[in-house]
Amino acid sequence: MSDTVTAGLHDGSSEVVRAAEEMAARLPGPLSVFARIAYNYRWSWTSGGAELFSSIDPLRWERSGCNPVRLLLEASADALARTAANTDLVGKANTLWQEIQDDRGRVHTAGRASPQRPVAFLCAEFAVHQSLPIYAGGLGVLAGDILKEASDLGVPMVAVGLLYRQGYFLQRLDRSGYQHEYWIPLDPERVPAALVRNHEGRPLTVTVPLRGRQLTVQLWRVQVGSVPLFLLDADRPENSRTDRWITARLYESNRAIRLAQYALLGIGSMRVLAAMGLNPSVVHLNEGHAALAPLELARRDIAAGVDRHTAFTAARERTVFTTHTPVGAGNEGYDIAEIAEVLGDFPADIGMDFEAFLQLGRTRPDNPAEPFVMTPLGIKMSRAANGVSQRHGQVSRQMWQPLFPERPVDTVPIGHVTNGVHVPTWLAPEMRELLDRHLAPGWMSRQTDPATWAAVDDIPDEEVWRLRSLLRAELVEWVRDRSVANRLARSDSRELVAAAERGFSADALTIGFARRLATYKRLYLLTMEPQRVADLISSQEHPMQLILAGKAHPDDEDGKRSAQGLFGFKAIPHAGERVAFIDNYDLGIASRLVAGCDLWVNLPRPPLEASGTSGMKVVLNGGLNLSVLDGWWAEAFDGENGWAIPGDTVFDPGVQDTRDAAAFYDLLEHDVAPLFYDRAADGVPHGWVRRVKRSLRTNGPRFSAARMVHDYVDTVYTVRADSDSQAQGHA
Ligand SMILES: *Cc1c(COP(=O)(O)O)cnc(C)c1O
């Protein structure tokens, strides 16, 4: 189970092995291999991996949240005995385990990173799998996809995040559509994580100076293929009750605690890596939360006698920074008192007086009114910075130009690496099977080559359509189940529950809109012209159904109200059978929606969508996108691989909303629905299928995590003589 990156260190690799062996010892002999597989998330993106576990007990598998550790702990003796006697299944498990073992040998040098000096990838959230709920949305999904792809490509990487004992919140909408939150504690012993121990066999801990005290943190290791994910955990007896809460909740509401989380991630990550003897060649700050990490690197050098200038230069040389949003909430500012309370003496430890330290977090250092923001700190303390799409690169150069007063916007050293999605994770099994049948053998390892996808054109239209209809039918069946349960839980009327029971059609044009309920995503455009919406929804000729999902941050009243606005649909005839809001959007729900929807809609206010990734997942499964030309779609849309709403920015947001909503309804009514329902004698909408093929062919190779990780390795993790062109990345 240990990997070549870190063999022989006290880095938790032997604890992961021990946890798996302890589990194996409780199971019938032939099932030991299931325990080993359970402790490496590699199974989750291997064909047949999930089926191994669900075959043990399909109901319990669902109930455990698809968590293999819980499943194996909770499955009945009968179910285990039955599985142990199933030689076919045990054989498959052994084959999968062999594959995981084979991965380990493939880690190689990539850019500056080597197995001895890996990339340290830091992020506040990681969405590796639905059974490890330490993520909120797109940022976490992207981080999880990067780890999986780094494993697939053999890029030497270790990741550090926080173990939130209560994760992000769970969501329940009430009858009015208002969001309520609740939290369920995560038991780290019941997920595939192992506590890292030191050479004495005691939990490895480090201390981090926070809020005038020394916070003690321990560390869990989760194996993501060949990449270890280390999670810091403040739930230690040495800490006060309040301090233990620091790692309770992702994006905690209390500002001081949130700031303490970020400080812990930045400083603590560097300390635990050092305590394990890991010395990263590159420290990748994935968003600003971890931006104190390079300062901790400098502090260490300064404590060893290095002068401040040299220490800062060296720290910057090792650090790269990715900014993920131009939206204010993602670039949060802290005032002097907040910084002083949480960070205490840390500035003094790096030889800075408090005012000089504050200047690091400001765009205009000499403006005392400006709060301390992590993004400017990250940009200043890194040798390369990038946004996450071509357009977001431009927006970021403009936004952060004041940091480089001597440079015109075009030469601001912020490049871009467009996001991508991990193909084996997001491809529905049936779609994977279709592509395996029609693309050249081994196509997955050549997924970034346009030639690989050219063969999509030769797949018979009937086959594509049959697959799309199957995926839609699976989604519809599940939406019925979920909507009945959600509506009963909301105490909706009997008619509305009955409508969910008999509603939703396996043949109707199925439209998905699922994302964080942040204001800039403009959910309200969906209901802006009630009469037109009513006409579209209740159309007999071109029936449409709409599946909605998404969470609003607990403090975001506007976001919550936007969900409530959607419940205005209830008043529209037929909406009960054709519109559903599914509670609790997560990775599991996302994978169903992106597989089954025909059309995926995204209506962000331009230019605020840094990238967006859910539409890329839809492409892989043969769905089509209708989106504002912002984020990734601005570089993906070619006129025939989906539909677009103009992405220019109108000065008056109200005018823009009216215009964009009308464009959206027009496209639905005049383009999307007629094409979907234009059937030939064989029942196949050939025009629609042509678009699907074009979407796969043009966007399949460009928006995969493989392309993205290659870009990071080639342009960001690499060594280049000219540091300016380095920082420019793709710009
Ligand atoms: C892919 C994904 C996202 C990102 O969605 P965008 O709105 O396209 O950025 C968010 N949440 C979940 C659960 C996802 O799977």
135 ligand 1 Cβ < 6 A: no
Q: What average pLDDT does range 205-219 have in this prediction? A: 96
Residue 597, domain member (yes or no) = yes
Query: Ligand 1, atom 9: nearest CA belongs to which residue?
Result: 612
In a shared domain, residues 230 and 324: no
Residue 595, domain member (yes or no) = yes
719 falls in which pLDDT band (50, 70, 90)?
low
685 ligand 1 Cβ < 6 A: no
586 ligand 1 Cβ < 6 A: yes
Residue 122, domain member (yes or no) = no
- Residue in 515, 605, 620, 626 to alter for ligand 1 test, most ligand atoms within 8 A of Cβ: 515
Domain end (from 247, 279, 311): 279
User: What is the pLDDT at residue 723?
Assistant: 44
In a shared domain, residues 18 and 151: yes
Query: Ligand 1, atom 6: nearest CA belongs to which residue?
Result: 612
User: What is the pLDDT at residue 720?
Assistant: 57
In a shared domain, residues 692 and 730: no
pLDDT in tens, 527-578: 898 889 889 988 999 999 999 999 999 999 999 988 888 888 888 888 999 9
For ligand 1, the distance from its centroid to the CA atom of residue 332, given in whole angstroms, is 21
Q: What average pLDDT does range 368-372 have in this prediction? A: 93
Residue 436, domain member (yes or no) = yes
420 ligand 1 Cβ < 6 A: no
In a shared domain, residues 438 and 554: yes
What domain count does the chain have?
A: 3
Kind plus residue range of the DSSP H or E element containing 320:
strand 319-322
133 ligand 1 Cβ < 6 A: no
In a shared domain, residues 480 and 590: yes
334 ligand 1 Cβ < 6 A: no
112 neighbors 10 (Cβ within 8 angstroms): no
Nearest in space to 518 (alpha carbons), one of 183, 138, 127: 138
Residue 124, domain member (yes or no) = no
Residue 446, domain member (yes or no) = yes
587 ligand 1 Cβ < 6 A: yes
Residue 125, domain member (yes or no) = no
Query: Ligand 1, atom 11: nearest CA belongs to which residue?
Result: 137
User: What is the pLDDT at residue 3?
Assistant: 43
141 ligand 1 Cβ < 6 A: yes
In a shared domain, residues 388 and 434: no
For ligand 1, the distance from its centroid to the CA atom of residue 421, given in whole angstroms, is 10
pLDDT in tens, 653-665: 999 999 999 999 9
* pLDDT averaged over every residue in the chain: 94
703 ligand 1 Cβ < 6 A: no
pTM score, whole prediction: 0.96
- Residue in 614, 617, 618, 704 to alter for ligand 1 test, most ligand atoms within 8 A of Cβ: 614
Range of the domain at 480: 423-701
In a shared domain, residues 364 and 513: no
585 ligand 1 Cβ < 6 A: yes
In a shared domain, residues 53 and 177: yes
Residue 286, domain member (yes or no) = no
pLDDT in tens, 271-322: 999 999 999 999 999 999 999 999 999 999 999 999 999 999 999 999 999 9
The percent of the chain in helix, strand and coil, each rounded to the nearest 5, is 50, 15, 35
In a shared domain, residues 460 and 569: yes
Alpha helices in 276-428 (DSSP H): 293-303, 308-318, 336-343, 346-349, 354-360, 374-380, 390-399, 423-426
Strands 157-162 and 119-122, sheet pairing: parallel
Domain end (from 226, 256, 279): 279
Domain end (from 220, 251, 279): 279
In a shared domain, residues 328 and 445: no
Q: What atom of ligand 1 comes closest to residue 515's alpha carbon?
A: 7
705 ligand 1 Cβ < 6 A: no
Sign of CA dihedral 432, 130, 122, 416: positive
CATH number for position 486: 3.40.50.2000
Res. 730: pLDDT tops 50: no
325 ligand 1 Cβ < 6 A: no
302 ligand 1 Cβ < 6 A: no
Q: What atom of ligand 1 comes closest to residue 611's alpha carbon?
A: 9
In a shared domain, residues 157 and 176: yes
Q: What are phi and psi of 278, to 5 degrees?
A: -100, 130
609 ligand 1 Cβ < 6 A: no
pLDDT in tens, 39-87: 999 999 999 999 999 999 999 999 999 999 999 999 999 999 999 999 9
For ligand 1, the distance from its centroid to the CA atom of residue 155, given in whole angstroms, is 24
For ligand 1, the distance from its centroid to the CA atom of residue 477, given in whole angstroms, is 22
Q: Which residues lie closer than 8 Å to 659 by C-beta, 6 or more apart?
A: 650
601 ligand 1 Cβ < 6 A: no
Kind plus residue range of the DSSP H or E element containing 546:
strand 544-549
In a shared domain, residues 177 and 253: yes
